[in-house]
Every structure is written in C-alpha cells, then in structure tokens.
C-alpha cells in the first residue's frame, strides 16, 4: 500500500513539475501555445520511445546501451525501403522494421543470456555492431520517408479552440505505447519481467524461465526502439546512419521517471513524463537564451537534484 | 517536493525577468543552431558569429543552440528558436535535407534563415558555404602533382556518413580520376578526431605499407607529429588551414605540404548575410559559395600566404583564415575573444 502510494506520488510529482514548467514557459514566452506544444511533442517522440525501450529492459534487471545505434539501423532501413514506396509497401516497411527491431533486441538479449556476461558489456559491444550495420546500409544521410506517413505525426489532431492544443504526435505516442505496454503489464510475461528484475533467484524458484523472459524483454524493447527509429526518420524525412543522442537521455529519463536501475520497480508513465520535462527544460533554456555550454550543466543539475530528492523521499517513506 | 517547485519557480522567474529587461531595444535577435560541440572549426564558427554580431552593432542578442546532436535534435532546436521569436536563424545544418521541415516553418513565420558551411535544399533558405568538393579537389590535385603523378596515397577521410565528408570524397575521387597512375594505399575515417587520426597514422607507419603522400580531411597537425615521433621519412601531406598545421608547414624540416582554406569564419559571413537580408538587401543568388584557396610551402606565393596567416594567439585546432574579405568586419583579436552582444 505504502509502496504503491509513494510510486504514484512520484509520478504525480513529475506531472506537477511538468505543469509548472509549462506555466513557466508561458510566462517566459507569452506567445507559447499550440504550435509550441506541437513542436515539443514531436521533438520528444524519439526520446519517448527510446526511454520506453530502456525502461522495459531496466525493469527486467538489464540495460541496453545499443538503443541509439539500433534506432539508427531502423531509421536508415526505413528510409531506404520507403523511397518512392506506395501505400501497401509503406505499411509493409513499417511492419518489417518493427520486426527488425524485435529481432535486433532479441539478439541482444540472447547474447546476454548465452554469454552470461553483464548486460552492459554485451550491449555496449553490440552498439558498435549496430552502428556499423547502419553505416553499411546507408553511408551518408539519404533515402526518403513516405510523405503521407510523415503527416501522421505532424500538426494538431483537428482545428478548433481546444482540440488544436492536442498534437497528433502525442496521440500516436500514447496509442503505440499503450498497445505495447497495457497487454504486457497484464500478461504473465509482464509479471515475469518484473519478477526477474526484482529477484532473479526467487523468480526462478517460482518457475519463471529467466533466459526466455530476458530475451523477451529485450525483444519488446527492440520493437519500441524501432518505433523510435521510425519517428526520427519521419521527422527528418531521411535516414541518418550516425546515432543520435538518445541513449544517455533515455537512461536519464528512466531514472528521473522513477524506474529503479537495479530492476523490478517502476512503470512507463513516469519516464515518459520525465522525457517531456527534459524537453521543456531545453526549450526554456533556449527561450531564455542561456549560454549553450551552461545549458547542459543546468540540464544535468536538474536531473541530479530531482533524483537525489527522490532518494531522500524514498528513505523517509521507508522510515515512516 | 514543494521546496523544489518553489525553487524552480523562483529561478525561472528571475531568469525570465532578466531576459525581459534586455528585450527593450529595437535591434535584431539572431538564433544560431549548431550540432557539433568541442571541435576547433565549429568553435571558431561560433566565435565568428558572436564577433560579427557584436561588430555589426545591429544585433541585440544571440540565442545560441549549440550541442552535439543529430538532425532530429536540430529540428527541435530550430523550432525552439522559432518559439523564442528570433528575427533570423543562422544554421549549420546537420544534413542538406533533414532539417528542411523546421526551416520551412521558420521562413513561413517570417524568420530569415541562412545556412552556413553546408547548403540546405529548402528553397526559402539562403545558403553561404565553403565549397567542400572543391576543397578536396584542390588539395588532392596538388598532392598528386607533388608525387609526380604516380604512386600511392593514404586517404584520411572525416566522419563516415557526414555530408561534408561525402562532398569531399566526390572531389578527391574527381582528382584521382585525372591521375590514373595514383592509387589509394589506405583509406581510413578519422572521424575528425585528433587522437584517432594520429593513432591510425602511427599504425600505418608501423605496418610498413609503402605510400608516397597523405591527404587528410583537416586532421593534419597530429599526422605530422606521428611522422616526426616515429622518425619516419616525410612524404607530402595535405591538410586544412588549421593553425597548428600552418605552423608546421613553416617550421618542420623537410616537410612538403599544403593547407587548403576552410574558414570557420563562414559563421560570421552567415550573420552578415542574415543582417543584409533583414535590411532588405537580398543576394542575387540563393546560394553564395566561398571558394577555398590552397597555400603550399613549395611555391613562393604559397609561402607568403602561409606566413601572412600565421598568428601565435590562435588555438592550434582553429583555422587561421579567421576572416573572410567582404563578409566579416571584426578583428582577429575580437574573434579570439569570442564575445557576442551583451556578454
């Protein structure tokens, strides 16, 4: 009961912080409105998927350092295959790259299980492999995303005084994450993922197949990574073989979002809210025209302070 | 948690007030977007933008988004600058096509967009850039000439997958096609990283592969260091006009080489172009190209250029061509000081 409360409390606190930041943004820039919200959400999209992927693996007690490199592989594959594609081919490409993401994730997981090396070592090594693969597919930025598919994440859901405040990209993000997360959370697999992250030995004694669950967690993360890679290609319109800055940002958002790095605890909502907080902090720092070298210091400090505060609250909660 | 909210709010409000106070003037605000941090060339570009903005007297403040990111991150930065309501955006695009969407949004909002260093394909933007293909062609041609039109060359490229590297590759290949007796002994990507390039050259020297010349994509002074440290016989080396390499061309005994100019001060030129457009003076062409020059230490003309460009105060990784005639008005000391309006 107490634990449930404190976890929800953390997410509620993050939501409060997000609302506060939106108000601050409006104060700094009175013209901030629908278009601003829309661009923030669109910018958050790849970070949100990378964060969701990282969250799933971390909850299972692992970590995947090849998230950004896999996104690059998916992004270039999609851009190459979508160049000049029709409607049917475009949807086939979407399905194919989701499967590709699952396969890459599953391979990461299988290697972790088979080699018995720490996740951090295996996935770090794999990140170089995926980086190379992306460059083999496309040696320079190129390819093209199907134009009408790009529209799917562009603009508000409909014109109008209130609905125009809701960007399409936010709906796409929410629907896709729920499609993956809700069934998983209610399934035996979802429970197993939490179980192996929380205490692998206990999970094993309760009849959970640790190896299979771990591979499945990495594969699901791979699907989310594929969505992230696709969202990068859709927003830029081309494929980029050099991985973007998504790995560390995703780990940061996962921690800020209340997922415990040791595994077994946390959800998806907190990390996603954290992604938006980090994006809006960046927007505010740009609006305030803060020295760019100070910007990263401020971002890092906010993360450190919030996470430390969370630690203090957690300790107090346990004592009470 | 409550204390944190209050703290954040207080901090944000005080920052907001500070920002509002300086926004009273009638001058322009210019946004800058750059996606590579901690590289000498890019730092010079940023400093040239600051110095030119200050020197022009027409810029009230610069809003600089300067971090290591990809094209999607640059889309975010440009959109944030649109939200900030700047009058013009000077951008070093991470690719020719990938940031078009945000640039279109900016120009639709009445913001002047100037792309520097690399052109963008969005027709509503203006471009001012160094001709990267010509950069590689000039240096490679000089090198092959120096080698007597035959032999093998070590080809040290930039970062795999980068647009400028691709353009330079086209120029290098064009020169290579003109010299059928020249072949590539080794092709490596330095990633435009000093340490990586130096290690690669040390490895090549240790492996004993014969070669007659080295073409580098701007990672140059450490390559000369690799030769002198391993006491290998020098071969002709082509690099960029980075201060360290320009110094070596005049001081290292027996070194034959050439520096091809690739001014980072193109950033300052971008600010000038943006201000001209803001005042209604649009250029005749949408794209303005700055042609590189080659300064070798063999011909008298080249030697004179090298000597004239030398400046002991420059960071060795900075290009010595700190200004561009007709486009920049600041002094060398101003660009080294790296101060923008209001700093």
pLDDT of residue B17: 44
Residue B15 has pLDDT above 50, yes or no: no
Stretches where chain A sits below pLDDT 50 are 1, 320
Mark yes or no for CB contact A27/B5 under 8 Å. no
* 3-state SS string for chain A: CHHHHHHHHHHHHHHHHHHHHHHHHHHHCCCCCHHHHHHHHHHHHHHHHHHHHHHHHHHCCCCCCCHHHHHHHHHHHHHHHHCCCCHHHHHHHHHHHHHHHHHHHHHHHHHHHHHCCCHHHHHHHHHHHHHHHHHHHCCCCECCCCHHHHHHHCCECCCCCCHHHCEHHHHHHHHHHHHHHHHHHHCHHHHHHHHHHHCHHHHHHCCCCHHHHHHHHHHHHHHHHHHHHHHHHHHHCCECCCCCCHHHHHHHHHHHCCCCCCCCCCCCHHHHHHHHHHHHHHHHHHHCCCCHHHHHHHHHHHHHHHHHHHHHHHHHHHHC
CA distance B279 to A14: 46
CA distance B66 to A222: 31
pLDDT band at B194 (very low <50, low <70, confident <90, very high): confident
Segment B297-308 shows an average pLDDT of 90
pLDDT tens-digit series, residues B23-50: 434 589 999 999 988 778 899 999 999 9
For residue B214, which phi and psi values (nearest 5 degrees)?
Answer: -130, 130
Q: Is residue A284 within 8 angstroms of chain B, CB to CB? A: yes
Q: Which residues contact B171 (CB under 8 A, 6 or more apart)?
A: B132, B133, B134, B135, B136, B137, B138, B140
pLDDT of residue A221: 97
- Quote the tokens at residue A148: 């009408």
Q: Is residue A168 within 8 angstroms of chain B, CB to CB? A: no
Q: In B, which residues are within 8 Å of A47 by CB distance?
A: none
pLDDT of residue B323: 86
Q: What is the DSSP letter of B232?
A: P
Which of B64, B71, B83 shows the shortest C-beta gap to A287? B83
pLDDT of residue A157: 84
Mark yes or no for CB contact B98/A238 under 8 Å. yes
pLDDT of residue B14: 47
Q: Which domains does chain B have, with CATH numbers?
A: 2-130+264-291+322-337 (3.40.50.2300), 132-260 (3.40.50.2300)
pLDDT tens-digit series, residues B223-281: 999 999 999 999 999 999 988 899 999 999 999 999 999 888 999 999 999 999 999 99
Q: Is residue A17 within 8 angstroms of chain B, CB to CB? A: yes
B126's torsion region: left (phi>0), alpha (psi -120 to 50) or beta? beta
Mark yes or no for CB contact B76/A16 under 8 Å. no
pLDDT of residue A289: 84
pLDDT band at B171 (very low <50, low <70, confident <90, very high): very high
Q: In B, which residues are within 8 Å of A35 by CB distance?
A: 83
Q: Is residue A232 within 8 angstroms of chain B, CB to CB? A: yes
Residue from A14, A17, A18, A39 to probe the interface with B (highest B Cβ count within 10 Å)? A39
Segment B291-319 shows an average pLDDT of 88
CA distance A218 to A109: 5
Which of B67, B83, B98 shows the shortest C-beta gap to A39? B83
Return the C-alpha torsion angle B67, A119, A257, A49, nearest 10: 60
Which of A141, A237, A245 shows the shortest C-beta gap to B101? A237
Residue from A244, A277, A298 to probe the interface with B (highest B Cβ count within 10 Å)? A244
Q: In B, which residues are within 8 Å of A287 by CB distance?
A: 19, 80, 83-84
Nearest residue of B to residue A140, measured between CA atoms: B161
CA distance A133 to A69: 9
* Helix/strand/coil for B17: helix
pLDDT of residue B284: 86
pTM of the model: 0.82
pLDDT band at B3 (very low <50, low <70, confident <90, very high): very low
Contact map slice: A 88-147 vs B, CB within 8 A? 135, 138-141
CA distance A2 to A248: 31
Residue B85 has pLDDT above 60, yes or no: yes
* Helix/strand/coil for B314: coil
For residue A136, which phi and psi values (nearest 5 degrees)?
Answer: -70, -35
Q: Which domains does chain A have, with CATH numbers?
A: 37-289 (1.10.3470)
Q: Which residues contact A206 (CB under 8 A, 6 or more apart)?
A: A195
Nearest residue of A to residue B20, measured between CA atoms: A28
pLDDT of residue B180: 96
Which of B19, B80, B99 shows the shortest C-beta gap to A282? B80
Segment B129-144 shows an average pLDDT of 94
Assess contact for A181 and A52: CB atoms under 8 A. yes
Q: Which residues contact B27 (CB under 8 A, 6 or more apart)?
A: B58, B59, B60
The bridge status of strand B112-116 relative to strand B126-130 is parallel
Determine the distance in angstroms separating the CA of A209 from the nearest CA of chain B, rounded to an integer: 39
pLDDT of residue A165: 87
- Of B268, B220, B265, the residue nearest B243 (C-alpha): B220
Mark yes or no for CB contact B83/A24 under 8 Å. no
Return the C-alpha torsion angle B228, B234, B238, B240, nearest 10: 20
Mark yes or no for CB contact B72/A46 under 8 Å. yes
Mark yes or no for CB contact B64/A28 under 8 Å. no
Residue B159 has pLDDT above 90, yes or no: no
């Amino acid at each position: 009961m107490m634990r449930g409360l404190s976890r929800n409390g953390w997410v509620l606190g993050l939501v409060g912080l997000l609302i506060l930041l939106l108000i601050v943004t409006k104060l700094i820039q009175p013209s901030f409105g629908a278009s601003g919200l829309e661009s923030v959400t669109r910018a958050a999209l790849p970070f949100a998927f990378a964060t969701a992927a990282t969250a799933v693996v971390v909850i299972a007690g692992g970590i995947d350092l090849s998230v950004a490199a896999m996104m690059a592989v998916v992004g270039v594959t999609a851009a190459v295959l979508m160049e000049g594609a029709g409607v049917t081919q475009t949807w086939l490409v979407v399905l194919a790259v989701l499967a590709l993401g699952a396969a890459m994730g599953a391979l990461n997981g299988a290697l972790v299980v088979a080699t018995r090396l720490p996740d951090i070592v295996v996935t770090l090594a794999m990140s170089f492999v995926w980086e190379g693969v992306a460059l083999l597919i496309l040696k320079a930025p190129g390819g093209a995303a199907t134009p009408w598919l790009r529209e799917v994440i562009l603009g508000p859901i409909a014109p109008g005084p209130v609905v125009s405040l809701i960007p399409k990209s936010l709906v796409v993000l929410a629907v896709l994450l729920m499609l993956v997360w809700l069934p998983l959370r209610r399934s035996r697999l979802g429970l197993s993922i939490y179980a192996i992250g929380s205490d692998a030995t206990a999970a094993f004694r309760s009849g959970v197949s640790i190896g299979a669950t771990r591979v499945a967690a990495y594969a699901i993360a791979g699907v989310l990574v594929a969505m992230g890679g696709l969202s990068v290609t859709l927003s830029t319109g081309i494929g980029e073989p050099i991985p973007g800055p998504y790995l560390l940002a995703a780990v940061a958002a996962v921690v800020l979002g209340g997922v415990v790095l040791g595994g077994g605890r946390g959800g998806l909502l907190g990390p996603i809210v954290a992604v938006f907080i980090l994006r809006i902090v960046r927007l505010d720092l740009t609006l305030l025209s803060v020295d760019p070298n100070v910007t990263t210091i401020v971002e890092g400090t906010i993360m450190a302070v919030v996470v430390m505060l969370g630690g203090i609250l957690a300790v107090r909660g346990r004592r009470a | 948690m409550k204390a944190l909210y209050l703290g954040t709010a207080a901090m944000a409000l005080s920052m907001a007030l500070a920002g509002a106070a300086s926004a009273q003037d009638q001058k322009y605000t210019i946004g800058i977007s750059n996606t590579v941090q901690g590289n000498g060339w890019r730092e010079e570009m940023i400093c040239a933008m600051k110095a030119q903005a200050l020197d022009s007297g027409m810029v009230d403040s610069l809003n600089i988004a300067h971090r290591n990111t990809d094209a999607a991150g640059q889309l975010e930065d440009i959109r944030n600058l649109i939200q900030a309501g700047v009058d013009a955006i000077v951008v070093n695009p991470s690719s020719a096509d990938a940031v078009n969407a945000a640039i279109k949004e900016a120009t639709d909002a009445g913001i002047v967009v100037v792309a520097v260093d690399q052109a963008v394909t969005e027709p509503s933007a203006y471009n001012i850039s160094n001709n990267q293909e010509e950069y590689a062609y000039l240096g490679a041609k000089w090198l092959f000439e120096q080698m007597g039109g035959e032999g093998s060359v070590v080809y040290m490229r930039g970062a795999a997958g980068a647009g400028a590297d691709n353009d330079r590759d086209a120029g290098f290949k064009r020169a290579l096609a003109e010299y059928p007796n020249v072949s590539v002994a080794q092709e490596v990507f330095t990633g435009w990283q000093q340490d990586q390039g130096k290690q690669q050259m040390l490895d090549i020297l240790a492996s004993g592969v014969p070669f007659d010349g080295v073409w580098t994509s701007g990672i140059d002074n450490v390559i000369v260091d690799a030769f002198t440290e391993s006491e290998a016989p020098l071969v002709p080396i082509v690099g960029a006009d980075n201060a360290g390499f320009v110094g070596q061309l005049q001081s290292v005994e027996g070194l034959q080489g050439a520096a091809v100019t690739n001014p980072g001060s193109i950033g300052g030129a971008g600010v000038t172009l943006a201000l001209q457009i803001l005042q209604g003076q649009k250029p005749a062409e949408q794209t303005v190209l700055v042609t590189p020059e080659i300064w070798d230490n063999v011909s008298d003309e080249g030697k004179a250029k090298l000597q004239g460009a030398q400046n002991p105060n420059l960071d060795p990784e900075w290009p010595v061509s700190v200004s561009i005639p007709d486009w920049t008005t600041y002094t060398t000391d101003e660009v080294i000081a790296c101060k923008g309006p209001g700093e």
